[in-house]
Amino acid sequence: MLVKWIRCTVVDRRGFERGQRKWAGLLGEPGFRGQGGGWSRGRTGVAHIFSFWESRSFYDSFMARSHDRLASTQSGTFKDAQVKLFDYRFDVKTGFEPRFTDTDLVRVAHCRVHGERAEHFTLMQEKVWNPAMAGSPGMIRGLFGEAPGHEFLVLSMWQSAAEHGKYRTERIERLALRAQIEADVASLTGDIVQLEPSWTV
């Protein structure tokens, strides 16, 4: 599965949201698995969109045919768009599906990892972080993805901000020490995204 993550700064909120609903046109696309997104809780006007495709070839075919027609409705409503593609590697918890109807919040973490530490980082994700997140009440599902150049994406879906907050305060520092995260990670950026149900496809 291919994961696409778009982050942008919205300059015309009403126009952007109107255009976002037009992406319902994705439903007939071969290989399309699902899309959702919402607003950053920490950065005003920043929107995140996550879309999922069965494979890179289905995605490339969509980009060549239908993408520009769907995207044209949002032209001029945002700036500073950053688009990243990741290959799905494994689930966080079990049974990841690109569904957004039973979740309020998505936590996204984007890690650039030192090349020689990539294997260790991946192992720690499986052995340390995954069990901790999977055991947290309110964490529904998630995935771990990889892009060329030792870049990784950890996406987790939560029932509510309160549930995610409990996990953060109790666990993060202790887990980071155990996973030797400082030795592995060159840079880490993340955000908490409040999902907008009307953006779900």
Domains in the chain: boundaries: 2-199
Is residue 88 pLDDT above 90, yes or no?
yes
Q: What is the mean pLDDT of residues 159-164?
A: 86
Q: What does the alpha-carbon distance between residue 61 and residue 64 come to, in Å, rounded to a whole number?
A: 5
φ, ψ of residue 144 in degrees (nearest 5): -120, 125
- Predicted pLDDT at 170: 67
Instruction: Name, of 1-5, 24-28, 70-74, the range with top average pLDDT.
Output: 1-5
- Predicted pLDDT at 79: 97
Is residue 102 pLDDT above 80, yes or no?
yes
- Beta-bridged to residue 5, according to DSSP, are 50, 84
Question: How would CATH label the architecture of 2-199?
Answer: 2-Layer Sandwich (3.30)
Prediction pTM value: 0.94
Q: pLDDT: is 164 or 32 the higher one?
A: 32
φ, ψ of residue 38 in degrees (nearest 5): 175, -160
Mean pLDDT for all residues in the chain: 94
- Predicted pLDDT at 166: 80
Is residue 136 pLDDT above 90, yes or no?
no
Residue-wise burial string across 94-120, b where 16 or more C-beta atoms lie within 10 A, e elsewhere: eebebebeebbbbbbbbbebeeebbee
The token duo for 76 is 């001029």
